[in-house]
Amino acid sequence: MKTIFEDVFGMASSCTEKFRDGVRDAFGASIVSEALEPILNEINSLRHLNAEIEGQARNIDQVLEEARSIQFKGGGEMR
């Protein structure tokens, strides 16, 4: 399942490449290197952070499910 960060990264990458293809001078090149590439790096960092958070959330859900299973096997009530 694609996350919003993956969609944004894809769009930003596409726009960056289109802009880069049209660059004809040092000013355009500086926009790419000083603005667009750092933005792409930040979006990529957010993609990785989001993936880590999703993985941790899945682990937490699994532990909670196991705890519920143990509790119900013991006849206890959820509070």
- Sign of the Cα torsion 38, 40, 44, 49 reads positive
Identify whether 23 is part of a domain.
yes
- Is 53 inside any structural domain? yes
Contact assessment for residue 67 and residue 36, using Cβ atoms and an 8 Å cutoff: no
Does residue 47 lie within any of the structural domains?
yes
Domain count, the chain: 1
Structure pTM? Answer: 0.76
> What is the b/e burial string over 22-38, where b = at least 16 CB atoms within 10 angstroms of the residue's CB?
eeeeeeeeeeeeeebee
Residue 46 lies in a domain: yes
User: Cα separation of 2 and 11, whole Å?
Assistant: 13
Asked if residue 78 belongs to a domain, the reply is no
> Residues 8-21: pLDDT tens digits?
999 999 999 999 99
Q: In this structure, is residue 79 part of a structural domain? A: no
Domain span at residue 17 reads: 4-73
What is the per-residue pLDDT across 22-39, written as a single tens digit (0 to 9) for each? 999 999 999 999 999 999
Neighbours of 39 (CB within 10 A): 14
- The reply to whether 24 falls in a domain is yes
Look at residue 32 and tell me if it is in a domain: yes
